[in-house]
Each structure stands twice: as C-alpha cells, then as structure tokens.
Structure 1
C-alpha cells in the first residue's frame, strides 16, 4: 500500500504576526527512521493562535517562517526505511514531543520535563521545530501511534489535546468520588471535564466567561456550570480538586478560592511569563497543594484506548471543521472562544 511521496505539499505556515499563509512548500526528504504521513485532520491549538496573533507563544518568539500544528492524525503512506514504526496504510495519531537534554536535571520517568524537549510547530528553539499542518509530512516513526480500526481519523483528531487533559487529571491523583472544579471551559477545560467523568468524579463544576463553552462542558460531563464573574458561587464550591485551565491570574485566584481546605489545585493553563498576582496567603492557610501540569508523557496510549472503547466522550468539543485552504477563516473562528470549541482543519 506504499504510495510515492510528493515533492511538494500544501502547508499552513506562519511568517510573522498576522501573516498566515496556505502555500506549497517542499516536502522534507525522510531520514531512515522517518515515515511519510498523509495528514487527515489537524486541531487548531491556542499556541497556533498566539503565533498568528502575536508572532510568539509566551517566550517562544517567531524568528523565521514555520509550519504550524501539532494536533494531527493521518495515514502512513511510506514506512520508515529502517523498518521501524507502522507500515504503510496504517492510520496514526502523532505524539509531537521529542524529549532531550540533560541539564538542568529532570526525572527520567517524566520526559515531558526534559530541558531540551522540542514540540512540533514550536518556535521555542532556533531553528524552529516545524509543525504538521500540511497534506504530507515526514515524521520520526517513534512519534506515531497506530489507531485501532474502531476509531476513525475524524474521531481521533482530539487525541493530542485529550492527552494533555488526561495528564492533568493524573496530576490530581485518585479523583473517584471527588468534587472537582474546572476553571476555564475551552477545549482543554472541556476535555478535562470529559476525563474527570470517565475517571469517576462525583461532581464536576465548570466555570467560564461564556455560555457556549459551558454548554459543551455540560455535554461531556459537567454536573454544574457557573459564570466566571460569580465569585461567591465559585468560592462556595469547596472542591476537593481544582483545575485551572484559563491561563489567567484571575482564573488562578478563582481556583484557590474554590478549593477546599487541604485540597489540590492543578495548574494547566499557561499564564504569561513573568510575575503574576496570586492568593498565596490563602493557599498557605488552607494548606493547598499547587501542582503544575505540562503537556503529557505516555498518556496518549491510554487516551487512544479510551476513545476506541467509547468510555471517553469528546465529540461535542469539536464545533467547526474547515478545509485547510480556508485556514484564515478557521483561525478567526477558533479565536472566537465565545462561539467555538475545538476547530479542525481538514487536509
């Protein structure tokens, strides 16, 4: 089933702030351990939007044109020459990280914390790590995860962000029977709600500024929703575990206020770099555990299995789908968090 890899491919690239292009570029020749993948779907992530809107994602500043995208699924059309990885014709999801580096030190069992880790579609290092928003890409075979036949590529499109949510919930410990509070019901927050429901949380309260995301949160498992300005109601939740996924200091304030004494706050949303105001005194007097959660490690395999057996329900989180040629419209819709959830590009 091997197909010849084309010399060029259509790709969604970012050249500078507000300079998003859909253009034909050369397809990189695969190394011995790299396969050629025909991409089917790609999910627009917040980092993609930041490169488009600001020319940077946090401290990762765009210095040269770069292919965007790291939430992708597709089909192998050419297996790696060294025989590793899935064979041609295999539907795959992609683990976009490449751990690396030895200094500063990091726990060997948590490769997501390795200091030299690179991620597809990231300007954290230079030369930048090219992304995978393209009709065809060459990727290391170790990044590829074969999808079971019961899981379509369309349904697998949320594997990567769902893995981020799965990792966040794992940072909370055993959630079975617990009362959970999720601050920020965008795609990651909604996925956290879905993972919490599957993991057996007894109550799941979702918080957001907008009615649309809260409606999605209810569809995937939230037992109650609150508006982000209802500070008294949020503080009264008294949650055993709280997930901050808004990426704002106000969200972190709500998370601390909504946690029960002795509770745990998992910080998932990436706040801007530099100093941020925080209710540290309240965290101290309540003996709260403030825990960070960054990307994921091997949870992707568990996510694929849970999607395949139907125990993880995420379909309502996808609200829009656009052809890759309409990337500008897709990005504009994805930026409108009031009226969209996860936006997919179809390649």
Structure 2
C-alpha cells in the first residue's frame, strides 16, 4: 500500500508500506480520504511543529476517514464495510489530566502522526491503518466520507469555542482564516454567536471564511479597514502568529476572553500582557479536543455548507502536489488526499 512518509524538512516521500494486521483490541480501516493539516505542512516545511521535532521518518496524517475492514481479537465496533471516521488520540486514561476529564492535554497521549514522543506515533496517511477499535466512529446517516474528513479539524474548532465559554448572542473575532479559522467561524455560529468577524491578510482565505458563515471580513494587514469592530466579546486566535494574538488582545472588550488556538512558533512570543491586567482579559489556550469529535460528526451531517471548504481531492501518488496546494493559501482551504478506490 502507498503511504506518505516525512523524513525531514522538505523531504516528503510516497512509499510502499507493509499492510498492517489488526492486533488485539484493534480495528483495521481502509483509508479513503486524509486531510492535509497545518501540522503536516509544518513537518514538511520545517521538520517539526512548535517544540515537536522529527527524529526519525514518520508517516504523516491524522484527519482520516474510510471503511472498516476487520477487527483483531477481542475488538468490536461498526460492522466491516461501514463508513467511519477515526479519532486520532489515544490518551493514557490515568494521568492527572485524564482523571480530571481533560484527556486532550494528557501528558502521555499517543496522537496519530505526531513527533511529540519518541519513537514517534506513526500517522494515518496510508492505504490501511490499524487503530484501537474505540477510536472508530460510524458516520451519521447522510454524511459522506468527503465531508466527514473535516471531523478532526472541526473538533479542534468546537473545542476552542467551548474554551471561550458562552458565545451565544455575542460578537466573536477570529484571526486567521485558514482551514481551522474557517471552522472556528462555523463553530461559533453553531454555538449561537450573533456576529462573527474573520481577519486575514489573504483575500482568498477570507472568501472561504464567508463560506463558513462569517458576517464580516477584515484585511488583517490593514488597520484602517472599515470592517474592524471597535470591540468584541470573544476573540479566537487561529493564525499562530504573535501579531494575531496582539490583535485579539486589543480588540476584545474589557473582561472579555481570548483563546489562543494557533500554535505559536517555538520559544518566546511577545504579547501585550499589560492589557490582561488593565482590562482583566482572560487568555486561555485550546489544544486538540476530546468528546467534540462526535459532536463534529453530527454537525457535519446537518450542514452542507462545509462542502465548500474542501478545495481539492488529490490522489496519494501526487502527495507532493497536494502539499504544495495546501500550503498556497491563495488557492486552497482544505486539501484531501485520496487513497484506494
């Protein structure tokens, strides 16, 4: 079977990989689509994500959907042939964070396609993968595999909005209109936000934010843009750059909430900390997700506008082109790799 293996910065290879056999408690899934994530692009461009650096070749990918093939001993789940999405995280279940109901920040988790630990956790950009059966979710009725491939990034967005607290009836600013930022727009609207403003320096990205439901679009590189709100109730920073965080802190109201979702560069990042004090702003981090995965599948099944965020579906054999397309924000939002028939 074909798989996408990253060997270092700029060194992505499509290689023949051995087909796995499901072990005890595992499900074997034939992958159909895999979404190219910002973290995949970081591994490809820079050889790492934040503080997580490549130390050995690693199969990329954690946003995958497909069909169940079979199960290992002792495993049960959706019947073979069922269309499924794969939750990419395996938390340890017994650390303080897991015990506190926050498995998304588990200190010993295993996450598909992540270099956070060594040996790395191999990812899911392959024709078939063996995963713990409990991570397999049957798709809700009416949800096709193409749209379901957005379940993992939408879960990230739902978690970020929930970290903000109540947004119903409020005005939410989202800085960064990449795939995650656009899905934060959709998640905020689904949570009842009355108005969502999306900011990004790339006009094409803002058009995708409009597809996701943004009420106002602002050029992030133009402080004189008439669309800038005087203040918002909640701001979600989804660009991963310090300038976006600065914008959020300066635009959120006194006593408001800022959620840092985008992964900032490694090392120190300057920010307007004095505003946290003088305005009593709450700055909260958001990392991955947990139970939101099931909610994301239900939301995807209910709303067809998500289809407009999938820019292209590219065969795995052309993975290099897919990554180049996904990295070009003037030409794409979410790019999917296609495996099998």
- Calculate the TM-score normalised by the size of structure 2: 0.95
Query: Does structure 1 retain, via aligned residues, the 8 Å contact 2:256–2:281?
Result: yes
Q: Report how far residue 100 of structure 1 moved.
A: 2.0
Indicate yes or no: 2:278 matched with 1:295: no
301-310 or 257-266, which deviates more? 301-310
The equivalent residue for 2:209 is 217
Q: Report how far residue 104 of structure 1 moved.
A: 6.7
The equivalent residue for 2:311 is 319
- 1:33-73 CA-partner distances (Å, limit 9, x unpaired): 11111101000011111111111112211111111000000
Distance 2:274 2:208 in 1: 34
Indicate yes or no: 2:165 matched with 1:164: no
Show structure 2 runs of 5+ residues with no match.
none
Distance 2:98 2:58 in 1: 29
The equivalent residue for 1:249 is 242
CA RMSD of aligned residues (A): 1.6
Q: Report how far residue 144 of structure 1 moved.
A: 0.6
Q: Report how far residue 90 of structure 1 moved.
A: 1.2
Show structure 1 runs of 5+ residues with no match.
1-8
User: Which of 89, 111, 119 is the matching residue for 1:97?
Assistant: 89
Indicate yes or no: 2:271 matched with 1:278: yes
Alignment of 1:178-193 (within 5 A): 178-193=170-185
The equivalent residue for 1:51 is 43
Query: Does structure 2 retain, via aligned residues, the 8 Å contact 1:76–1:88?
Result: yes
User: Which of 62, 65, 72 is the matching residue for 2:57?
Assistant: 65
SS in 2 for 1:314: helix
Structure-2 change in CA distance of 1:34 and 1:107 (3 Å)? closer
Distance 2:141 2:271 in 1: 47
Query: Does structure 2 retain, via aligned residues, the 8 Å contact 1:194–1:313?
Result: no
SS in 2 for 1:291: strand
- Calculate the TM-score normalised by the size of structure 1: 0.94
User: Which of 17, 21, 30 is the matching residue for 1:25?
Assistant: 17
Query: Does structure 2 retain, via aligned residues, the 8 Å contact 1:235–1:254?
Result: no
Distance 1:80 1:192 in 2: 37
Structure-2 change in CA distance of 1:104 and 1:45 (3 Å)? same
The equivalent residue for 1:34 is 26
Distance 1:106 1:258 in 2: 34
SS in 1 for 2:184: helix
Query: Does structure 2 retain, via aligned residues, the 8 Å contact 1:107–1:113?
Result: no
SS in 2 for 1:154: helix
Count, aligned residues: 338
- 1:300-347 CA-partner distances (Å, limit 9, x unpaired): 11111111122x742221112111110000001111123210111011
Indicate yes or no: 2:125 matched with 1:133: yes
Distance 2:220 2:194 in 1: 22
Distance 1:152 1:345 in 2: 15
User: Which of 196, 212, 224 is the matching residue for 1:204?
Assistant: 196
